[in-house]
Amino acid sequence: MLKHRVLHLAIPAALKHFLDIVQILIDMLMVGVLGVAALAAVGLSMQFMMVIQAFMSVYAIGSSALISRYIGSGRRHRASSVVFVGLWVALGGALIVGIAGWSFSSDFFRWMGSSAEVTKLGSGYFGILSLGMGLIFLDTLAYNALSAAGDTRTSLFIKIASAFLNAGLNYLFIFGHGGFEPMGVEGAAYATVSAYGFTVLIYSWLLIKKGGILDIYPIFVRSDFKKMIAIGTPAAVERVIGVASFLLFVMMIASQGTVALAGYQIGLRIEALAFMPGFGFSVAAMVLAGQFIGSKQYDYAYESGILSAKIATLFMGSVGIILVSIPEVLIRFFTQDSVTIDQAALYLRLVGIAQIPLALTFVLSGALRGAGATNLSMRISIGSLWLFRIIPAYVVMKLGGGILGIYIAMTVETFIKGWLFWQVYRQKEWITRTI
């Protein structure tokens, strides 16, 4: 029964994550037809969105932990009131981010050293996304709320429809088909916002109608607001610092030359496919930890994480074997340049070795977040990232260790982080933490 619940949550979540990646790739491919400047503009905008998504953790992770625990304890109305609280937090955050994005989008691109053409295209694209930021924030809230209540399957079907809609609108808006004027990069932004509008409309119907797994109960509980912020803030800090650290790591790689950077970018996109099972089982571990703790079934809370981790390591370990054995076969879908292939293969072989500890990190950190122990997860993630990856990679780079030394530091840190999460998880102190 426990295995069934884990798979029931994890598989749709993993497939939705896959569609998220596919949708981004389709956007980039269609925009790429417009030229390098258009591609760079959209690519930089995605980097800005990574930072914004990290801030969304305040209400996304906070609401998930509370909803799953209330669902587990049988307090469905209280879980529904958390959605209402999250609604106001999401709208407030979207208003601030949207105004900042609309007002300073050009400055963002100039600060990144973009050319005049990229700045013009990017500010237009990101400015439109900023106007639709409320829809983006609400989509994140609704997805996390339904997942925390135990329903990841509905979100998968919504995502399938949304992805098709986004691709179709891209075709119409970017290139000017179906009676529309060609809008170029801005057309891609309008298509994205429209797709988010569609998902929010469906989610709203699901959450407003009575009798579903979860709805909106219009009562603002101040204690839930405080708990949401207390749980979500460490998760947001962890992700913001993680994004910033990721950019520093990319800068180190870029210092090794254009070919090294190109190989890394290709390898990263291929590795993203390996993240799918890890992401799915992370969601399962997070939801089940909260629900079982809410119902005071502490042994099940622990075992659900162990089972999720076992299945995730099986899947990601299998992918790791492929990444180590035949990375060149995968890389040739992206480039035929032999030097770039060698660089990307080096990256994929090293990350392939570390897929099992990476799976542990995904799943066990998800369980900690579901239990509300986001502060603990933050300390492990940030401490490991800086002490065992960023600083060692910088030292290796300065000592002339090259790209191989930087990747070795990355791989070693992944093993250390996985071990740290396992040590903390098996002590079980996170289970009895109050939120």
Of 159, 194, 220, at which residue does a domain stop?
220
User: Tens digits of per-residue pLDDT, 392-418?
Assistant: 999 999 998 889 999 999 999 999 999
Domain residue limits at 106 = 1-220
Q: Are residues 174 and 209 in the same domain?
A: yes
* Same domain for 435 and 403: yes
Per-residue pLDDT of the chain (435 residues; tens, 9 = 90+): 788 889 889 999 999 988 888 888 788 778 878 887 887 788 778 878 888 988 899 999 999 999 999 999 998 889 999 999 999 999 999 999 999 989 988 888 888 677 788 888 889 999 999 999 999 999 999 999 999 999 999 999 999 999 999 999 999 999 988 888 989 999 999 999 999 999 999 999 998 876 667 878 888 999 999 999 999 999 999 998 888 888 788 788 878 887 887 788 788 878 887 788 888 999 999 999 999 999 999 999 999 999 999 999 999 999 999 999 999 998 888 778 888 889 889 999 999 999 999 999 999 999 999 999 999 999 999 999 999 999 999 999 999 888 999 999 999 999 999 999 999 999 998 988 766
Q: Give the pLDDT of residue 67.
A: 94
- The last residue of one of the domains, among 161, 187, 220, is 220
Residue 215 shares a structural domain with residue 229: no
pLDDT of residue 434: 66
Q: For residues 72 and 161, state if they share a domain.
A: yes
187 and 279 housed in the same domain:
no
My answer on whether 271 and 394 are in the same domain is yes
Q: Are residues 130 and 242 in the same domain?
A: no
Kindly state whether residues 191 and 242 are assigned to the same domain: no
Would you state the pLDDT for residue 267? Answer: 85
The verdict on 282 and 200 lying in the same domain is no
Buried b (16+ CB within 10 A) or exposed e, 84-109: bbbbebbbebbeebbeebbebbbebb
352 lies in the same domain as 280: yes
205 and 249 fall within a common domain: no
Q: How many domains does the chain have?
A: 2
Tell me the two tokens of residue 180.
């529309």
Residue 423: CA atoms inside 13 Å, Cβ hemisphere, count?
7
Pick left, alpha or beta for residue 148 (phi over 0 → left; psi -120 to 50 → alpha; otherwise beta): alpha
Give the pLDDT confidence score for residue 56 in this predicted structure: 92
Residues 208 and 264 in one domain: no
User: Of 201, 220, 239, which marks where a domain is finished?
Assistant: 220
